[in-house]
Amino acid sequence: MTQSTTPSQPTASLDFTDPQYYFNRELSWLEFNYRVLAEGLDERTLLLDRLKFLAIFSNNLDEFFMVRVAGLQQQVEAQVHKLTPDGRSPMEQLEAIAQRLRPLLQEQDQVFEHQLRPQLAQEGVYLLTYLDLNQEQRQYLHDYFEAHISPVLTPLAVDPSHPFPYISNLSLNLAVLVKDPDTQEELFARIKVPRVLPRFIKLPKQLHQGGEVEAVWTGIPIEQVMAHNLESLFPGMNVQECYPFRITRNADLSVEEDEADDLLLAIEQELRKRRIGGSAVRMEIQATMPDTVRLTLMRALELEDDQVFAFESLLGLDDLMALAGLPLPHLKEPGWTPVVPLRIQRMLEAAEAKHKLDRDDGENIFDLITQGDLLLHHPYHSFRSTVQEFITQAAEDSQVLAIKMTLYRTSGDSPIVNALISAAENGKQVVALVELKARFDEENNIQWAKKLERAGVHVVYGLVGLKTHTKITLVVRQEGEHIRRYVHIGTGNYNPKTARLYTDLGLLSRRDELGADLTDLFNFLTGYSRQRSYRRLLVSPVNLRDRMTALIEREISHSQEGGTGRIVAKMNSLVDPKIIAKLYEASQAGVQIDLIVRGICALRPGLPGVSENIKVISIVGAFLEHSRIFYFHNQGAEELYIGSADWMRRNLDRRVEAITPMDDPQIRQDLQEILGVMLADNRQAWELQPDGSYIQRQPPAPEQSRSSQKLLMEMALQQGGL
């Protein structure tokens, strides 16, 4: 991981509060989402995977509008004039977002309609419009509408006696114009497209589309089926026109713990508001909608022109995920089966060979951890056979006295939560810190929190003013006359489903200092402890910022003294101005810095005299890069850390986070190898430019393509786990 260092020439002291040294957070996020879209535009990506990336792009934008754009619009309404580090007001940010976003949406719209839709047809997947249908197909869909769709629909009139209906968040709707044949009066109605029915109605095999390629799937969007069969909903009236539209609303929660006597109840109430939604922040329409209808909707929803987005193709392309899941393996990358790490594999095989039913008999996962730390790398390593096995064995092991863990996000049918319930029923002391404010997982977490409490688990909802984001588990075990503590410290959530989609790291260890630190941290989270120091852990908001700053400053000192200064850091987002300023100082001192930042990056690399020694790449692939790794050369006494925190103000100052040092030499070597593979990626890696744009690496001929994610899969298979 080392590189030769050439100190920069001394430069005049610079003011790192100057906006010119920072990229805007929101625009940087849009650049990340463009990189997601680019995978869908890239002809090297297989067809159904291209649909998947277009769907992810749309889904990401929904959340962006519900939270980030909604927040900016609220600031404008409240006449907030505070500038961001890059010097923009809320209104300037909204204008810049619209300017950057509209071309991306147009590109997505055009590529889907004029490239991917025809390519799907060439593969026998026919997503039709109503005009494409023959009479037999239309009759089938009419009968289907009458039997399955019409009974669910509720047309809502809009007139002096019927006020404009509330349009729920992310709902797809039809604006319908009908005419009274007696009075010739034109009337307006709204019909909501029901979410309980599939977005794409599949035709039976005997009615598949005919064409050059034999059909394997033929279907049509449900809103078109509705639009062409509305007469039965308005008997005696003449249906004139029908236009789809989609609404996005402010969906961010506004709960502060110190303002709520009962946090659980307060968040449940806020969730009910979210289901309905706050003020509208975006309307998506088809370009064919006439101005009269568009203006009617805008007035009713209190929207301005810049909040309306028109499309030639379908609205709500996040629903393309249904087509991306079609069983056509030649049109998508093969699924990945996670590998069981070799040490754990041998344990499981031995247990199976001996038909062991009692985990107290023979080697178990605690014995393995006692032999040495275990590094876990998901999804390359199986979550079920590692983290889940660790917690399941702890729940069943008669020697385990207590289990304590944090739950930020978990799946709806979580085996982790079930294991905690089983542990409590087995008489163990079980503590679960459930973060109720995990955005868009609040409802899920509330349900599990109630279930855990009913089973006798001690459930804690976090600290006032701090969101608990750390990913930690502590298992206390009686071994003879000694109490031993086993820990899991990770970068990702205890969620078996996302563990197959997100890249994350975890450490299983029995190191005494880590066990003692986690004990202190849980006391901080559940009691009145005000722990201000930890033996090995870097914890926010206690010491993480100061320790990271000190580690950067140490590399600066080494470089200034003629030694090697080297930093490699991988994270989701880099936004914190103080950390960025310190990295600029390090670059000026000659420290060579490589940053792997998946999403938002406010740092400007490659500025002469400021950041010419800093390189930033982003990797976007089949898996969502979610792990955090921090490497410091330290004159050859290399230090590596993993944990839950990005370099963002919220992670460093307003969340509870934990970063752990990696003390095992082999694990440090493995982490350096992982970083090296990522830095050498020339397929999924994008390089951040000084102007804020990203350029995707392209392997020059005859150089082979190197996808870090594919290489890490191959390494996992070859090594039986790193």
Question: How far from 458 is each of 348, 454, 465, 531, CA to CA, in Å?
Answer: 31, 10, 21, 21
* Rounded Cα–Cα distance for residues 292 and 289 (Å): 8
Task: Tell me the β-bridge partners of 190.
Answer: 156, 175
Is 469 an active-site residue?
Answer: yes
* Rounded Cα–Cα distance for residues 262 and 668 (Å): 44
For the record, the structure tokens of 208 come out as 């598949």
* Rounded Cα–Cα distance for residues 626 and 493 (Å): 10
Helical packing angle, 25-41 and 47-63, nearest 10°: 160
- 186-192 and 172-179 strand pairing: antiparallel
* Rounded Cα–Cα distance for residues 1 and 672 (Å): 7
Question: Which one is catalytic: 228, 377, 469, 488?
Answer: 469
Cα-to-chain-centroid distance, residue 143: 41
* Rounded Cα–Cα distance for residues 544 and 537 (Å): 8
* Rounded Cα–Cα distance for residues 628 and 564 (Å): 23
* Rounded Cα–Cα distance for residues 69 and 421 (Å): 40
3-state secondary structure string across 558-588: HHHCCCCCEEEEEECCECCHHHHHHHHHHHH
Q: Which residue has the tokens 């062991």?
A: 356
* Rounded Cα–Cα distance for residues 666 and 343 (Å): 14
* Rounded Cα–Cα distance for residues 293 and 245 (Å): 10
Phi, then psi, of 52 in degrees rounded to 5:
-60, -45
User: Could you list the active site residues?
Assistant: 469
